Chain A
Amino acid sequence: IAGITQAPTSQILAAGRRMTLRCTQDMRHNAMYWYRQDLGLGLRLIHYSNTAGTTGKGEVPDGYSVSRANTDDFPLTLASAVPSQTSVYFCASSPGMEGGQETQYFGPGTRLLVL
């Protein structure tokens, strides 16, 4: 593994189903993020984690949950998918050092279609 991986690459999901998007990084970064990207809109933060064991809500958290049991993994769960959650989901990570540049590095994305 090099950098950040996400799985699955793409998924078609029936409305009402539960789905977990996986994200793993091998850079030992403290901070991790989940974004959604929709046409014509900027990346919007769903949830974030500044360090293992802690999580926080971003701009659009409703309908999503996350956990951060260890440094490497940051799964995103849709408890009951709705069509408005159709989007491209990007996981990102940054070193998590206060006062630093804190560049975020992105995974390849998961393309989700909810029908």
Chain B
Amino acid sequence: GQNIDQPTEMTATEGAIVQINCTYQTSGFNGLFWYQQHAGEAPTFLSYNVLDGLEEKGRFSSFLSRSKGYSYLLLKELQMKDSASYLCAVRDSNYQLIWGAGTKLIIKP
């Protein structure tokens, strides 16, 4: 079967750095996405990785290792508005997205 694993919940302090991990086992791989979802709102696109390595976008970076079936999302200089759920999704061999359950990130002052 296909599986995406992420921690259920993480807590971090305002101004700090946090790393959210995602491991996957899917039938094929055609890219990995990270989305942010604030409570009661729709998911919004954060990043996309299809090749191994680090993609940096301002305070957010995403890393991919296809051989290990592993990705992480790194959030720097945390702000209170970063409190949200972070969803990892992998596009499989059928070009469908398989979604993890999401990691709820709680930011404390």
Contacts and interface: CB of A to CB of B under 8 A. Distances in A.
* Binding partners A and B: yes
Interface of A: 40-45, 48, 58, 90, 101-109
10 contacts: A42-B87, A43-B99, A48-B96, A90-B42, A101-B50, A104-B33, A104-B97, A105-B45, A106-B42, A108-B42
Interface in B49-81: 50
B101 A42 contact: yes
Contact of A107 (B42, B95, B96, B98): B42
Contact residues on B (Cβ < 8 Å of other chain), bracket: 20 to 34
B39 to A, nearest CB: 11
Nearest to B99: A42
Interface of B: 4, 31, 33, 41-45, 48, 50, 87, 89, 91, 95-102
Contacts of B43: 43, 90, 106
Contacts of A104: 33, 45, 97
Contacts of B44: 106
Given A48-B96, A105-B45, A107-B42, A42 B33 contact: no
Most chain A CB neighbours (cut-off 10 Å) among B4, B50, B95: B95
Contacts, number: 43
Contacts of A43: 43, 87, 89, 97, 99
B87 A102 contact: no
Given A102-B91, A103-B45, A106-B42, 20 more contacts: A41-B101, A42-B4, A42-B89, A42-B98, A42-B101, A43-B87, A43-B97, A44-B99, A45-B97, A90-B42, A90-B43, A101-B31, A102-B31, A102-B95, A103-B33, A104-B33, A104-B97, A105-B45, A106-B44, A108-B41
A45 B42 contact: no
A42 B102 contact: yes
Contacts of B50: 101
Contacts of B98: 42
A109 B42 contact: yes
Contacts of B91: 102
